[in-house]
Amino acid sequence: MAKPSVSLIGDWRIVEMDLWDREYMDMEVPAFIRFEKEGGEFQFGLVSGSIDGRYRSKSGQAGVEFTWEGQDEMDAVSGRGWATLESDNLLKGMIFFHGGDESGFVAKRRKAKPKSMRKS
């Protein structure tokens, strides 16, 4: 990954998606996207994946463009996406499935990792 914007690093709670409602988004765990210095991960509904991204700044706004691979109901899936920091605590972006759906999302900064994703 390229040098990350420190302001993007961390856990983000996905609070809104264009294609899916809250009930689906939070089906297994509270929907989230996480950016780390090297990589990241996300989960909403039955979709989860690992992220390989490139941090960037455009017109003074911190952002990330990424590819991802993971699973949707145990089927292998992959795609791409991007996210832009709208404010210190608000992230907006898009996630695309290779050859399939695409959805905008809005996420708010979280203070701690989702309990189900913490390493033991």
The per-residue pLDDT for 101 is 95
Cβ neighbors of 120 (< 8 A, separation 6 or more) are none
The candidate with the shortest Cα–Cα distance to 47, out of 27, 22, 19, is 27
Query: Of 37, 36, 40, whose CA–CA distance to 48 is shortest?
Result: 40
- Residue 97: per-residue pLDDT: 98
Length of the chain: 120
Please identify every stretch of the chain with a pLDDT value under 50, giving residue numbers as ranges. 1-2, 118-120
Residue 82 confidence (pLDDT): 96
